[in-house]
Amino acid sequence: MTSQPPTALTIAGSDSGGGAGAQADLKTFLACCVHGMSAITAVTVQNSLGVTGFYELPPHAVAEQIESVVTDIGVGAAKTGMLASAAIIEAVAATVQRLGVTPFVVDPVAASQHGDPLLRPDAIEALRDLILPLASLATPNLGEVRLLTGIEVRSRADMDDAARALHALGPSWVLVKGGHLPGGDAVDVLYDGTDLIELASPRFETAHTHGSGDTLAAAITAALARGLGMADAVQEGKRFITAAVEGSFALGAGLGPVGHFWRIRDWP
């Protein structure tokens, strides 16, 4: 009999196109040898061209999904993605805190790759005040940094300032993702309140990076579920997303997804 694998939970929206959201997280968990579970927060209407709508689940339904999984199967690590509204954020924060869900990775998703909003305007304050203080790690991109801190990151030095400002909001660790800054390598900054660690990886010229933020956070979550420490888990996640971007592909008429299955990719 096969031994039980580590478990990880994604608390996120559903992407009908399969490239981001809970679908991307579950693919990543599988590729990282972790049993994936989900608590769906919203159903999005999207494809490679963008998001044309989303429908939130009732906050109690999101909380009940989390509790159902935690109290029976157990959760080795969890992550958030699209939380949609202040009411859902409040329900998730209360449930995660009450059940002691940890490690807890917060990907503060505010918009899709196309720039379509995935977070109600009233939710930013709840995200900042209720979810970030619970985070073992927060993984904002530069747009999310601006929403959460007001800092407009235009340089590598700005990333350090942003990391310090985000850490002051309560997460144990912060990973500021700098992939949208111009330059040779894609550079992220990891910060634990003491040390600023620069993580650089090759940059690939491709438009097909749909779901890259979700995938990075999910790969880190999977590594934490397997028992890695935070710095090693982030390095593992960075390696995974770098290879996934290199293995991205066109799909539909717009932005294609990163290649979640790059480790096993072998077209028939």
SS3 label, residue 18 = coil
pLDDT score for 7: 98
Nearest Cα neighbor of 64 from 39, 85, 44, 83 is 39
Cα 134–Cα 186–Cα 38 angle in degrees, nearest 5: 40
Separation between Cα atoms, residue 258 and residue 86, nearest integer Å: 30
Residue 258 lies in a domain: no
Residue 267 lies in a domain: no
SS3 label, residue 179 = coil
Provide the domain count of the chain. Answer: 1
Residue 100 lies in a domain: yes
Residue 266 lies in a domain: no
Separation between Cα atoms, residue 174 and residue 164, nearest integer Å: 8
Residue 62 lies in a domain: yes
Residue 254 lies in a domain: no
Residue 257 lies in a domain: no
pLDDT score for 114: 57
Spans in the chain with pLDDT lower than 70 = 1, 111-117, 265-268
Residue range(s) defining the domain that contains residue 75 = 7-246
CATH of the domain at 133: 3.40.1190.20
pLDDT score for 116: 62
Residue 153 lies in a domain: yes
Residue 142 CB contacts under 8 Å (≥ 6 apart), including other chains: 153, 162, 176, 177, 178, 180, 181
Separation between Cα atoms, residue 118 and residue 200, nearest integer Å: 28
Nearest Cα neighbor of 102 from 79, 81, 77 is 77
